[in-house]
Structure 1
């Protein structure tokens, strides 16, 4: 029950109260935007040059008043100029790019220009309005050398985004220019920020608005409504309506409060009695010429829309919604539960600063529920709250003055002994030693650790401080931090930081916590989150898929084999292997969040380049850093590099015993001579599929050089190839195969290699192929293809059709058949044919691959090449590990019975054992590419091995230039290493001389 009381003389005594409390009245830092300014600048790779212009003035702007100018190489007069055109809406951006920029940019550009927008890092760019400079990047008349700026915030090879606190351009092009204070830096071809701009600025306005309200407070409600407008102005024609939003009184006017004349500062205060306003969901409307009555129902059908509008106009609105499932509101913005991150709806709120009106909830800061600012109330104001200031300037809470050594909450108390902080959402001050400094590179923060700790093994002594605007700190600094305890994707951190004090420098670091893989349990890392830790053991470099994009490698204590390469899918042994791996990995990060960071960092902390590489299977020791958590994984952010040991060095050629003939299986990773322009889907036999592989002629040359180098070194007599471009509609027959053979012969000698002509095979954009040395072998019989027309079990919409060719050994006269395969991958589903991932480890499409395997061994039993040869070898990418069904089916042969005469042998397992590998996935090794020989053929195989030129190499050194920065494009050599993602399989064979004995047929 509310007790009615009148709020007397409130305005009179507020000044006395603020003086007594030492509260300093200050406007928020937001400023008004009065003109356009440049909001983004990209000086990217190639022609990726972009300027983005932002309009935050509150009204559309005629761009014909404006022009952009280029001042090249220190010029004092414009080198190039272009006039702008069109109209730029309020809150929108205008993007002008080079005409040959990346298609992603061109798709959103408003205009293109290849003269002004052809700048380099040492060129100034000016935005003019008429003859007046509005914004200038750089210093006109000065050539800085390479660029202006420092670190990641420079005008060369960087993307610059205007900080949200910047509300006006830099019109003085003659003064020294440094982008660091006003711009955030990102990698050079970062396009994700284009198309919009956010800022903490506002449009100055003196139109009357509801400026503050108080409806629900501690104790007896202190209630009021405040209008803000022109000073000394009569607003008696305006009324603030309080409209009910709770069931069953939706739309009823609870109160109609007539306004009056503002004071010299533009405020008019309507002091109300307790219970004049509802405590639940309600809407406040500021209307003109109101002619209705309190109690009127404005929403007679209770649908949330106003059916009656007894006024001339709505000038302003704000609503509160306390989360009731049936509640309705009648104006925007709506201040709901957690609108500002706190877990309940506000009882009152203030515009900060006064009059800020962007029609967004962020215009409003909730008032302290315990009435901080009102005489006689102590209040409990904290971060993200405002004082109650009826009739005077609105004031957001500012943290009180404090000093190092004042009382604080220890880090381990903020962390608690669980997965998340027990102080979530609370303002805290704490102190610690900086043990990880990641203010540069996109993380925008640092880790601090309690100097002594609490000796509790269940609580972490370290924590991350996210503070983009903090002063520069260094490892060893003793700092004090004030902010809000929170969780960022399950990483406990201090965010919304208001203060950082550097109390002392050069302090001793806390001892590093000693960790060792494998961990004892899945949650064993949690007590070390945010702390300085070390791994003193040898850790194997096991995964580097994200090394190029994010600077990450995965480390394990041993090199894990993919479970289904050793154990039957779904078996207890499989389950145990999966669990064992989960406890035996840690991601080594690089302390940066930018994509394709330059330079890339080697696990030993030095620069990764072509003279300082690493390989999978090697190891790193004595790592020291901070234990971080992001994207669902614990990561070590290094503070110093470890010791690297090359435990798996490259080999110059395959390690395989020689034979009379060599057969090789090689996945050439989308070798396409039709370039993938990213726009036109013209590949495949249907002519409507996306092209793959190289995007440019330069990339194709780089790819071709690597593949040819690998094949020339292998020097096989017969190559089975996977992932080579299939014939496209209207294209030349076997064009990609011809191109590769021609390129290989340019190295090996004219006529060294020829290919089996097949034309288009199947419907996919890629196919399998065979090339061979005519001097060594001669094709015999028919070229045979297995697809769904031969056996409906072989779904060629999913599996690539198999290619079988028989050869005669020119030396001995022996015949043998090579069958090249590329079965359906695990990467996409076969749900459409009832073949889902069952979760047993075999992945997607296991039945589809199994049926293809069964069809193949049955087909081969019919001698499809009609060459009358009993020697058969299946090679290629089966997309199955050794204990999965497709391999089991092939091993059993056409009779489906193990250990009979028609079986096939896995010659890699026979020669190299079950831990052999040629592919890395999810930090685990195995092989998907096989040499499966029937019993007869197996007798002639001398050796089989996998040449580790690809799986152990990071793809940062491959041919592909997509996403890479210019410096990363140079991490390339025309050699075999990382020519693909699969390692080639090399088989050596020695046949005895073939003698046709004249014997009765039953002895043959």
Structure 2
């Protein structure tokens, strides 16, 4: 409906109506005018924290630009159509109503309420806060007004530098630093918090997730790869053009686009810029562009030659017998077709036989039989398996699930050297004479009593024989990144507390590999699995300390180094590392999951082929 008040006069009209209704009180009552009223940019201020935080404000006026009727943060956004021409102050603001708001887009409103800084995820999360009005009293002054024109977020408007360094005098926080929206991307987005914004045609860099969210980039050239993603290659490469997209339109009215990485969201996507726990700055769209499918296909790796050993690692995401047969079939198909039936597959996140049911069950024989049967049905080999059951609820992951690593191996191609006695608490060791290393227990756990593995998966070591040559494989699932602050934390650089545990875990594995190579410096050792850390991280540095291992992912071009997509960043979490004895190899991160809306796991598998 066309506006009944010209945009340039909207605030004056709203304030005049509020005065007439007696909504402005105290010193602003009878003598109040538009200059005397508190404006949205006064509330937002020039830093991340409002100068009016904790104070009651009255007669704050604006035009409603978006309404959120779902979730735990119901409310609406309003915007002052007459700005102060200061690029550091936002003219938009979220009003938290807790229940479904009784306003519509285009309403001119006057609001009394408390200025609050809401930290999404809680104070311990380290997240930035969202400036908002809470416990509001809302008066609709008029309806059908024109929504303030959106600010276009474009490649040239987003700075290439991501964030300022935190203030050491403020605990490393950027909260109280003056915003520099022409210098830093995070400052630019913060200066638009609550503002009506738009993006034009943009490439999808994070596939649609189960919560109807996707990620685009407004900088299509920024650390791009051939498949359409944006690669996260260092702690300084945060990729400034990424932006999360949600929709304010009920799904029943307009289904959310189901996008893969590399697709395009064409046309215009417009709505208020929000800040939330699961992505930071988010365009909450009133209107959303049209999806252009670019036909991304799942990758297929090369088949190993008869004298090559193929070793893979695959996080199958909490697999247990209660999962639908379709998941088992899809994972099996990936092993057979996309991974070309590797000789050895190290699996992570195999759950016990009743999944998350927490009744003391730790065996996973049913899970593994169902999976290996599905592989045979898909045309693959009849894999045998080896594993060690964990102690109940001692290895982290989903409570009751008892996730563990498992070796699958094709007995027609490779033999497993069984040395009995391995259990959840007994450590395997390295033995042997000079030039011929062996494990005392195979399969066996590495240093399971080490405090580094508390509430975490213990490495599983196995000894294999291929064409008369011994190969040691160590399957890992290091501690998660849970508890780390996000890259949009108010601490810059963010606190990454979870690294401390992974550093100790990496040191333990590194020491074990060195024990093997001390006996046989040409031993073929592969350290594989979900390392839960980047190829440039301190964790990887600790694994490779002293030249004990080489991260095979570094043999790939930088643009191809990723196994996981998180918040629009394609990044490395899964790795295979090789000992010096593994002289020549081919490595492939096989992209079958992480870039797709339809995922059988959230990780991509890795495979390495070499001649022992």
TM-score if structure 2 supplies the norm length?
A: 0.66
Q: 2:210 aligns with which of 548, 573, 590?
A: 548
Structure 2 partner of 1:591? 248
Q: Is the 8 A contact 2:478 2:530 kept in 1?
A: no
Structure 1 partner of 2:141? 501
Q: 1:533 aligns with which of 191, 194, 197?
A: 197
Q: Which stretches in structure 1 are left out of the alignment for 5+ residues?
A: 1-380, 386-399, 568-573, 674-696, 830-837, 958-977, 992-1004
- Does 2:594 match 1:951? yes
Q: 2:132 aligns with which of 489, 492, 498?
A: 492
Listed as ranges, the matches of 1:113-128 within 5 Å are: none
- Does 2:289 match 1:642? yes
Q: Is the 8 A contact 2:528 2:575 kept in 1?
A: yes
Structure 2 partner of 1:746? 377
Structure 2 partner of 1:824? 478
Listed as ranges, the matches of 1:361-400 within 5 Å are: none
2: CA distance between counterparts of 1:656 and 1:928? 22
Q: Is the 8 A contact 1:733 1:759 kept in 2?
A: no
- Does 2:458 match 1:800? yes
Structure 1 partner of 2:124? none
The verdict on how the C-alpha distance between 1:441 and 1:855 changes in structure 2, with shifts beyond 3 A counting, is closer
Q: Is the 8 A contact 1:541 1:619 kept in 2?
A: no
The verdict on how the C-alpha distance between 1:639 and 1:851 changes in structure 2, with shifts beyond 3 A counting, is same
Structure 2 partner of 1:815? 469
- Does 2:351 match 1:720? no
Report the alpha carbon displacement of residue 985 of structure 1 after superposing the two structures with TM: 0.7
2: CA distance between counterparts of 1:445 and 1:888? 47
Q: Is the 8 A contact 2:563 2:571 kept in 1?
A: yes
Listed as ranges, the matches of 1:68-467 within 5 Å are: 409=37, 411-412=39-40, 415=43, 417-418=45-46, 419-420=49-50, 422=52, 425-426=55-56, 428-429=58-59, 431-439=61-69, 444-466=74-96
Q: Which moved more, 1:926-935 or 1:758-767?
A: 758-767
- Does 2:536 match 1:883? yes
Structure 2 partner of 1:47? none
Listed as ranges, the matches of 1:46-85 within 5 Å are: none
Structure 2 partner of 1:483? 112
Q: 1:788 aligns with which of 410, 427, 440?
A: 427
2: CA distance between counterparts of 1:639 and 1:488? 25
1:954-996 Cα deviation digits (max 9, x unpaired): 5xx5xxxxxxxxxxxxxxxxxxxx22222111233467xxxxx
Aligned-partner SS, 1:845:
helix
1: CA distance between counterparts of 2:335 and 2:588? 15
Structure 1 partner of 2:505? 849
Report the alpha carbon displacement of residue 845 of structure 1 after superposing the two structures with TM: 0.8
1: CA distance between counterparts of 2:282 and 2:579? 47
Q: 1:623 aligns with which of 266, 269, 275?
A: 269
Q: Which stretches in structure 2 are left out of the alignment for 5+ residues?
A: 1-21, 119-129, 160-180, 354-358, 396-401, 431-445, 484-493
Structure 1 partner of 2:579? 934
Report the alpha carbon displacement of residue 846 of structure 1 after superposing the two structures with TM: 3.3
Q: Is the 8 A contact 1:823 1:849 kept in 2?
A: no
The verdict on how the C-alpha distance between 1:719 and 1:495 changes in structure 2, with shifts beyond 3 A counting, is same
1:683-719 Cα deviation digits (max 9, x unpaired): xxxxxxxxxxxxxx3x343432332232232222322
Q: Which has the higher relative contact order, 1 or 2, with Cα contacts under 8 A spaced 6 or more apart?
A: 2
Report the alpha carbon displacement of residue 916 of structure 1 after superposing the two structures with TM: 0.4
Q: 2:406 aligns with which of 769, 775, 783?
A: 769
2: CA distance between counterparts of 1:711 and 1:550? 29
Aligned-partner SS, 1:846:
helix
2: CA distance between counterparts of 1:548 and 1:858? 43
1: CA distance between counterparts of 2:361 and 2:58? 69
1: CA distance between counterparts of 2:99 and 2:376? 60
The verdict on how the C-alpha distance between 1:716 and 1:384 changes in structure 2, with shifts beyond 3 A counting, is farther
1: CA distance between counterparts of 2:463 and 2:330? 27
1:920-974 Cα deviation digits (max 9, x unpaired): 34553332322323344332x3x321122222235xx5xxxxxxxxxxxxxxxxx
2: CA distance between counterparts of 1:468 and 1:761? 44
1:155-197 Cα deviation digits (max 9, x unpaired): xxxxxxxxxxxxxxxxxxxxxxxxxxxxxxxxxxxxxxxxxxx
Aligned-partner SS, 2:286:
strand
2: CA distance between counterparts of 1:482 and 1:781? 73
Structure 2 partner of 1:711? 335
Aligned-partner SS, 1:499:
strand
1: CA distance between counterparts of 2:286 and 2:207? 21
The verdict on how the C-alpha distance between 1:860 and 1:648 changes in structure 2, with shifts beyond 3 A counting, is farther
1: CA distance between counterparts of 2:557 and 2:89? 47
Q: Is the 8 A contact 1:491 1:630 kept in 2?
A: no
The verdict on how the C-alpha distance between 1:647 and 1:908 changes in structure 2, with shifts beyond 3 A counting, is farther
Aligned-partner SS, 2:210:
helix
Q: Is the 8 A contact 1:486 1:495 kept in 2?
A: no
The verdict on how the C-alpha distance between 1:904 and 1:526 changes in structure 2, with shifts beyond 3 A counting, is closer
Aligned-residue Cα RMSD (Å) equals 4.7
The verdict on how the C-alpha distance between 1:885 and 1:446 changes in structure 2, with shifts beyond 3 A counting, is closer
- Does 2:551 match 1:906? yes
- Does 2:368 match 1:737? yes
Structure 1 partner of 2:517? 861
Aligned-partner SS, 1:528:
coil
1:496-540 Cα deviation digits (max 9, x unpaired): 3252132x52x4443222333346334333443332222347365
Aligned-partner SS, 2:535:
coil
The verdict on how the C-alpha distance between 1:598 and 1:560 changes in structure 2, with shifts beyond 3 A counting, is same
2: CA distance between counterparts of 1:734 and 1:471? 52
The verdict on how the C-alpha distance between 1:953 and 1:436 changes in structure 2, with shifts beyond 3 A counting, is same
Aligned-partner SS, 1:517:
coil
Structure 1 partner of 2:491? none
Q: 1:701 aligns with which of 309, 312, 325?
A: 325
Structure 1 or 2, whichever has the larger Rg, is 1
Report the alpha carbon displacement of residue 778 of structure 1 after superposing the two structures with TM: 3.7
The verdict on how the C-alpha distance between 1:463 and 1:784 changes in structure 2, with shifts beyond 3 A counting, is same
Report the alpha carbon displacement of residue 439 of structure 1 after superposing the two structures with TM: 4.9
TM-score if structure 1 supplies the norm length?
A: 0.43
Q: Is the 8 A contact 2:203 2:216 kept in 1?
A: no
Q: Is the 8 A contact 2:52 2:115 kept in 1?
A: no
1: CA distance between counterparts of 2:406 and 2:482? 23
Aligned-partner SS, 2:555:
helix
- Does 2:151 match 1:513? yes
Structure 2 partner of 1:252? none
Structure 2 partner of 1:873? 526
Q: Which moved more, 1:422-431 or 1:452-461?
A: 422-431
2: CA distance between counterparts of 1:463 and 1:890? 47
1: CA distance between counterparts of 2:282 and 2:68? 14
Aligned-partner SS, 1:548:
coil
Structure 2 partner of 1:291? none
Aligned-partner SS, 1:800:
coil
The verdict on how the C-alpha distance between 1:705 and 1:844 changes in structure 2, with shifts beyond 3 A counting, is farther
Listed as ranges, the matches of 1:604-615 within 5 Å are: 607-608=255-256, 613-615=258-260
Report the alpha carbon displacement of residue 583 of structure 1 after superposing the two structures with TM: 5.6
Q: Is the 8 A contact 1:409 1:430 kept in 2?
A: yes
2: CA distance between counterparts of 1:933 and 1:719? 16
1: CA distance between counterparts of 2:390 and 2:111? 66
Structure 2 partner of 1:378? none
Structure 1 partner of 2:569? 924
The verdict on how the C-alpha distance between 1:872 and 1:636 changes in structure 2, with shifts beyond 3 A counting, is same
2: CA distance between counterparts of 1:469 and 1:758? 51
2: CA distance between counterparts of 1:432 and 1:828? 39
The verdict on how the C-alpha distance between 1:646 and 1:855 changes in structure 2, with shifts beyond 3 A counting, is farther
